[in-house]
Amino acid sequence: MPQATFRPGSLVKARGREWVVLPEERPDVLRLRPLGGSDEDATRIYVPLEPVPPQPATFAPPDPKKAGTHEAGLLLRDALRLKLRAGAGPFRSFGNLCVEPRAYQLVPLLMALKLDTVRLLIADDVGIGKTIEAALIVRELLDRGEIRRMSVLCPPHLCDQWKQELQSKFNIHAEVVRTGTAGRLERGLPSGRSLFEAHPFTVVSLDYIKSDRRRESFLTSCPEFVVIEEAHTCVQGNPGTRHQRYQLLKGLAADPDRHMVMLTATPHSGDDEAFYNLLGLLDPSFRDMRGQTGLIRDAQREKLASHFVQRRRANIAEWKDATLFPDRHTKEETYRLTGDWGSLFTDVLAFAREMVESVRGDSILRQRMNWWAALAMLRCISSSPAAAAIAINTRLKAVEGVTEAEQIAALEQAGVETVFDGESEELFSGDETVPAAHPEAIIPESSAGKKLASFAERALKLRGKAKDPKLATLISIVNALVRDGFNPVVFCRYIATAHYVAEQLQSELSGKAVAIEAVTGELASEEREEKVAALSGEDRRILVATDCLSEGINLQAGFDAVVHYDLSWNPARHEQREGRVDRFGQRSKVVRAVMLYGDNNPVDGAVLRVILRKADVIRKELDVSVPMPTDANKVTQAIMEAVLLRKSSASGAADQLQLAFPKEEAEVDAAWASAREKAKQSNTLFAQRRMRPEEVLPEWRKAVDVLGGEEDVSRFVTVAAKGLGAPLDTGKGFFRLPIRHLPGVLREQLLSNGFPEMMKIAFSHPPAGAEHVHRAHPLVAAISNYISEISLEEGTPDIGSRCGALFTQTVTERTTVYLLRLRSQLEVIRGGDGDQVLLSEECVAVAVRGATSPVLVENADALALMQAGVARNMEPAQRERLLGEAIAAITGLNMAFETIATRRAKELLADHRRVRDAGKTKGISYLVTPCLPVDVIGVYVLMPVASF
């Protein structure tokens, strides 16, 4: 028989058993799935080499002699629904997800599906789930056959996280492309073939691919879909790295058919040029909006609304999903510079002022060297004794062999990276080393040099909580958090401080069974990930980290509190830190954030008063984090000048309330007012008409109706566990599943895949330590596959039965429920070789009451019928006779079943066209054909009590 007759969804008999044909591109190959198996059980056969050619097959009716209970029938029905991968409905991808997206996360997906070429900027707030939203679009277009390859471009430290997210949640197995892996991936490839052609799914380091040579090669062989993470870092227009990134994105956007999804939590950083460059990647005409007014700009805003989505936490409340995010409880804790520490700080502050004063009138280079050295000294002594000692002992040297102007520029850049926190919100410093605080102008033999050596020696003697009031306060904070059940992340500015803090905490908490680790920028991203993962597995844990973990890294699975041990001099960094734990997927209902500062430390006081607090006021007013003013470093420098150049008080340090910088604070107020006004105008001008819940929820409910949702999963796992001999035990907010008591084959499968013998699970909002079990969870997949296989083989009808009969008070006339499996072929017609045939499946119930025609029943009604209570016992002979009659009636009902299948195919086509109404301009059309005859999976007879 010609293999062409075996289209996706056809039933065939090969190698002595029946199979379902799955989509396969090669004409002489059949990809086959066992009738009761999953896509993971599929195999491929090369038809010309088969000794017995595959033959058409039909699905056998159930055996009335192997009847079971209706509860077992419902278990089979749930298993078949929950194991669907190519499910019918408006979305093709939901069956392939290993994460349960929330309704609000469908908005970018629906927006993307209405665009011929997807160009989308997702600017949702930190922690809402931009990764999931972008990957949903990728997975949907893959499963619709519209793309075959994709790349994620991201900062190097996020590569492994993206790879893990794609694999674990979306079944997309991507290769990481960066300096250390590219050579291996290219090895053995034919000459002229790009690794991006050989490996369809890649996660690419922006720093690796940005160079001119690699950029041109990538543009030549780039996949048709690209996701750009942290897109705001690519559009600054500055020379150097960011300019190269922008040229890369411009080259990608130049192809009008390339799909691009850009992600950022800060689309507008106060830099108008950068923002409009970013919009221009969506459509070149958006770049011109900067100078437009009136009706022209209104029209462009309307057009932009189809490409730009931005939501804050407050926007999610209307989706009834706000409970998915924890409540963030913030608190401030202070320490005082007292004793030896206070004395040292007072002496260092006086010396720093002398350093700055001593070079007035000297060369600009000498002035700037002493300025940066003084500032580094103050910042590091405010951080920790360890950082202070290293800074004081490290010489700040001028660059040799270049002009003085070039030396000054290099000095300024180094100061910005190590003393300040980078040039702007977009360009956070990645340098966590302690800056030099020993200027070249001061030689060791001088009195100043001896004084610095004395400072370093005194600083080292301050280690430990007895003499370090900042550390003592931290220990108190951490003890309270651990006592309250929290697992905190302690953020430090410098590597030396992080190690110092971790060592001190380990010593202090050594007898309290708390695991403590330090993770800093010294480690490669893979090593950081391994350390964090290992620590997350401990019962009680504390992570001490530098800001290498504050941007883009997911910490919510293992941690639920943040302590700012060192103040950041950029308010956006604080939000980034807290956003590591306060985000989608956090299992704790409350997260805590504690900001620690010295209440008589003038450095902390200046930063707190004129940077952090002013930013917080604007954030609360506008419900958006406003970036530092464009001239952020000038602002910070002005404040530090006020600290360094003001006259010393008798005590050196002063209470925060006594700090006064009238001139500098007025300048800062003006800068913040400008930043606030820009943010306000941007929010008004680019406020988008978001999709409302009433537009999205119907599509969401259709998908859940076909595939099964939270209630279905809860019912299925609970009933299945009981039927399989491992009933759930109720805990506080979770259940315990004794996997060791499950049947041998299933138990060994789960244990070999890393499941514990006693597993804590929850079906919604799991507490820390419990697994969130949703329809795509591996546990659900394993149990549903096991039950459907043994049920369809009719080996154990008490667990999953294909037929049954009972007396019940639920019905007033004889009612037969037929469980049907519908398969449809979805053809995507592009013309030529681009046509594709996909498979859609669903499991539905139809009811025949008395002598009426079969009627498709809603899932809620089917559930009620299948859960009908038994009114009295039925004799086996009577049950077998009733089932025999119902099964014999199938022949006469086949036409009605096929009518239902045809109607569902038309509805599938309508759903498909409705959510993906783009493509028409490219000549793409769709055709849906039901696979007939329909599979009758189960037959269940309900008899009214009064009838006998």
pLDDT tens digits, one per residue of 54-113: 999 988 999 999 999 888 999 999 999 998 877 777 888 888 887 778 888 888 998 999
Secondary structure of residue 51 in the 3-state scheme = coil
pLDDT tens digits, one per residue of 629-669: 555 556 666 666 667 766 544 444 444 434 445 555 666 66
- Across the range 712-734, mean pLDDT stands at 92
Residue 482 one-letter amino acid:
V
Q: Is a pLDDT exceeding 90 seen at residue 941?
A: yes
The C-alpha atoms of residue 102 and residue 458 are separated, in whole angstroms, by 56
73 CB burial (10 A radius; 0-12, 13-18, 19+): buried
3-state secondary structure 733-766: CCEEEEHHHCCHHHHHHHHHCCCCCEEEEECCCC
Of the ranges 237-241, 287-291, 577-581, the best mean pLDDT one? 577-581
pLDDT of residue 46: 92
Q: Confidence band (pLDDT; 50, 70, 90) for 7?
A: confident
- Across the range 444-473, mean pLDDT stands at 86
Q: Is a pLDDT exceeding 80 seen at residue 291?
A: no
Secondary structure of residue 205 in the 3-state scheme = strand
The C-alpha atoms of residue 454 and residue 459 are separated, in whole angstroms, by 9
CA 716 to chain centre: 27
Q: Is a pLDDT exceeding 90 seen at residue 202?
A: yes
Average pLDDT, the chain: 83
Q: Measured at the alpha carbon of residue 340, what is the angle toward residues 337 and 341, in degrees to the nearest 5?
A: 35
pLDDT tens digits, one per residue of 315-324: 777 776 655 6
- Alpha helices (runs of H) in 432-566, residue ranges in sequence order: 447-460, 469-483, 495-508, 525-536
Q: Is a pLDDT exceeding 70 seen at residue 743?
A: yes
Contacts of 36 (CB under 8 A, 6+ apart): 785, 788, 789, 790, 791, 792, 793
Q: Is a pLDDT exceeding 90 seen at residue 400?
A: no
pLDDT of residue 638: 65
Contacts of 156 (CB under 8 A, 6+ apart): 178, 205, 206, 207, 208, 525
The C-alpha atoms of residue 214 and residue 248 are separated, in whole angstroms, by 10
Widest CA span in the chain? 112
Q: Is a pLDDT exceeding 90 seen at residue 625?
A: no
The C-alpha atoms of residue 621 and residue 680 are separated, in whole angstroms, by 10
The C-alpha atoms of residue 688 and residue 304 are separated, in whole angstroms, by 8
The pTM (predicted TM-score) of the whole model is: 0.78
Please name the helix (run of DSSP H) or strand (run of DSSP E) that holds residue 784, with its range, or none.
Answer: helix 778-792
Q: Decide: 142 and 92 in contact? Cβ < 8 Å.
A: no
Contacts of 518 (CB under 8 A, 6+ apart): 498, 499, 501, 502, 544, 545
Q: Decide: 911 and 89 in contact? Cβ < 8 Å.
A: yes
pLDDT of residue 736: 95
Q: Decide: 55 and 11 in contact? Cβ < 8 Å.
A: no
pLDDT of residue 715: 92
pLDDT tens digits, one per residue of 788-838: 988 888 767 778 899 999 999 989 999 999 999 999 998 877 766 667 888
Q: Decide: 781 and 750 in contact? Cβ < 8 Å.
A: no
Q: Confidence band (pLDDT; 50, 70, 90) for 918?
A: low
pLDDT tens digits, one per residue of 836-878: 888 888 899 999 988 777 887 877 788 888 888 888 889 999 9
The C-alpha atoms of residue 37 and residue 85 are separated, in whole angstroms, by 11
The C-alpha atoms of residue 887 and residue 793 are separated, in whole angstroms, by 17
Q: Which two tokens stand for residue 358?
A: 């001593």
